[in-house]
Amino acid sequence: MKNKQTEEGGTDRRKFLKLGIMTSLTAIAGTSIVNNLAAQEEEGIAKPSGEVMRLLTPDGKIVEVDASNINNYPEAYITPEESRKGIPDRKFVMVIDLAKCKNARKCVEGCQKGHNLDYHQEFMQIKLIQDNPLAEPYWFPKNCMHCDEPPCVKVCPTGATYKREDNIVLVDNERCIGCKFCVTSCPYSARIFNWEHNAKFDDKSQPYSPETNVPGAIGTVTKCDFCPDLLRQGLLPHCAQSCPEGVIYFGDRNEDIVTNGAETVRFSELINKRAGYRHLEHLGTKPNVYYLPAVDKLYELEDGFDVNEEVKERYKNVPYVQELKKQGKI
């Protein structure tokens, strides 16, 4: 039974790949999406959901389409085996513009919704970092860096976590034995562990794929996956889609293009001109998430405390925050 499913998945996937090449992130022509959608609509598959998604065209234009048109690829199921290969000819990168972040936490929420996570399970975490005593702290969205020299992959005894050709590091929770060695090896604290069973894990309506991390499994590790399922559909990852400030750029190094949904820029130019850096560069992990330094910030730090009490509490140990509290600013 299981075999049959996989087989079907296999043939479906070939069909899907054809679509994928046409629509995948930077190779899409505006017309091709529209054509695809038109074709689907004719067949009567899609019903408008009212939810609008933003897609990127190669000349940097964003087209807005109804979510239901894109998401419902029944053939988008990628088996754990297939998920090890990666999307051909891609080298995905992310750029996070710290100058624009105001701790709106929309990326966190978008990600949690997309990956069926609970309130406290965060693939994307917002840290408050202060580089030195004189500098003002800044909001620091941090997910998995999808390192090119990933310590987590090196130490995994079963190959449950792996690096793909398209730069993405994934975890296969059907292979993971829960030894947590990868958690202790990751210098970016990117990995979270499923300590107990969660009712959401029982929802098997969607077959498990390491590309979505859904459904989760008790006793295994999970983390940010760069949303390859969306990438295959030519969509931005959940976090980049949900950020109202356009802080998170995502793109392909091979094409040298990144986009936050509103603007599309040359990746190399952006990093070069805005002094892009990688977190903990000195550790030699070679991350694929780049940061643009928090200079000339668009928002006051205090604005970031316009969140719920629980989140506010998280930063109470940062000396600067204690100072702000004393002054009555937050």
Partner 1 sequence: MDIQSRKRELFKEFAPRLETTSKVSKIYISFLVAIILVGIYAFYLQMSEGQIVTGMRDNVVWGIYEVNFILLVCISYSGAFISGILHFFHTPWKTAIARIVEIITVLSLLIGPIYILLCMGRLDRLHYLFMYPRIQSPITWDIIAIITDIVACFIYLYLTFIPDFAILRDHCEERKIPKWVKKLYKTLAIGYQDTKTQRDRLHKITRIMSTIVIVLAIVAYTVLAWIFSLTLQPGWNSTIFAPYFIVGGLFSGVAFIIVTMFLVRKFYKLEKYIRKMHFKVGGIILLILAMLYGYFTFTEYFSRWFSHKEIDTNLLDTLFTRYFWEFILANYVGILVPIGILFFKKFRTINWVTIASVIALVGIWINRYLIVIPTLETPYVPIQDTRVDYIFYAASWVEIALSFAGAAAFLLMFTLIGKIVPLVPMNYILDGRTPPKKVQKNINKEISE
Block residue for tokens 């840290």: 127
Q: Which of 47, 28, 11 is nearest to 255 (CA)?
A: 28
Least distance from ligand SF4 to the Cβ atom of residue 32, Å? 32
Q: Which two tokens stand for residue 289?
A: 């998430």
Contacts (Cβ under 8 Å, ≥6 apart) of 58: 26, 27, 28, 29, 257
Q: Which two tokens stand for residue 304?
A: 């970031």
150 binds, among partner 1, ligand SF4, none (CB under 5 to 8 A by kind): ligand SF4
Q: Which two tokens stand for residue 265?
A: 């820029």
Interaction of residue 218 with partner 1, rule CB under 8 A: yes
Interaction of residue 330 with partner 1, rule CB under 8 A: no
For ligand SF4, the binding residues (CB under 6 A) are 144-147, 150-152, 155-158, 160-161, 169, 171, 176-182, 186, 188, 190-191, 221, 223, 285
Interaction of residue 129 with partner 1, rule CB under 8 A: yes
Least distance from ligand SF4 to the Cβ atom of residue 155, Å? 6
The C-alpha atoms of residue 134 and residue 150 are separated, in whole angstroms, by: 33
> Could you count the other beta carbons within 10 Å of the beta carbon of residue 120?
8
Interaction of residue 220 with partner 1, rule CB under 8 A: yes
> What's the distance, Cα to Cα, between the start and end of the chain in Å?
58
Please, which residue, 28 or 169, has the CB nearer to ligand SF4?
169
Please, which residue, 17 or 129, has the CB nearer to partner 1?
129
Map the footprint of partner 1 across residues 161-190, applying CB under 8 A. Answer: 175-181, 183-185, 187-189
Please, which residue, 9 or 137, has the CB nearer to partner 1?
137
Helical packing angle, 2-23 and 30-43, nearest 10°: 130
Secondary structure of residue 63 in the 3-state scheme: strand
Block residue for tokens 């990688």: 278
Binds partner 1 by CB under 8 A, chosen from 197, 200, 273, 329: 197
Please, which residue, 151 or 237, has the CB nearer to ligand SF4?
151
Please work out, in degrees rounded to the nearest 5, the angle formed at the alpha carbon of residue 252 by the alpha carbons of 248 and 258.
Answer: 40
Please, which residue, 147 or 240, has the CB nearer to ligand SF4?
147
Binds partner 1 by CB under 8 A, chosen from 52, 262, 275, 280: 280
Q: Which of 283, 289, 278, 291 is nearest to 154 (CA)?
A: 283
Least distance from ligand SF4 to the Cβ atom of residue 58, Å? 28
Interaction of residue 128 with partner 1, rule CB under 8 A: yes
Binds partner 1 by CB under 8 A, chosen from 207, 219, 246, 293: 219
213 conformational bin, left if phi > 0, alpha if psi -120 to 50, beta if neither: left
The separation between CA 132 and the C-alpha centre of its own chain, rounded to angstroms, equals 29
Interaction of residue 307 with partner 1, rule CB under 8 A: no
List of residues contacting partner 1 (CB under 8 A): 120, 125, 127-129, 142, 151, 154-160, 175-181, 183-185, 187-189, 191-197, 218-221, 279-280, 283, 285, 310, 313-315, 317-318
